[in-house]
Amino acid sequence: MVAYTYAGTPDFGGNGSLYLDGALVAHNTISQLSGNDYDVWIGGSPDYGTDRLFPGYITQAAFFTNALSATQIQILYQAGLLHPL
């Protein structure tokens, strides 16, 4: 599971967080958002066009209206480990 959260405040230190399998692996600082309010890119970036597209498959993508906390990311990851009977 890969998850990325953005706190919504440009130039705020560490406003972006990357999680891998429910664990925080990196922070970054977004100073200015690319594109406009209508852009949604998964596996690519409007800054690079088609030069740097993810060459694989992405399943079960989800969008949330607010940045999830580390605890919420961990709960989502743990829920994905459960197998139906």
Tally of domains in the chain: 1
SS3 74: helix
Query: Mind listing the pLDDT tens digit for each residue in 34-44?
Result: 666 666 678 88
Structural tokens at position 35 = 């594109």
Span 6-59, pLDDT tens digits? 877 767 667 788 999 999 999 888 777 666 666 667 888 777 777 778 888 888
DSSP classification of residue 34 = -
Q: Cβ contacts of residue 47 below 8 Å, gap of 6+? A: 34
Pairing mode, if any, of strands 23-28 and 2-6?
unpaired
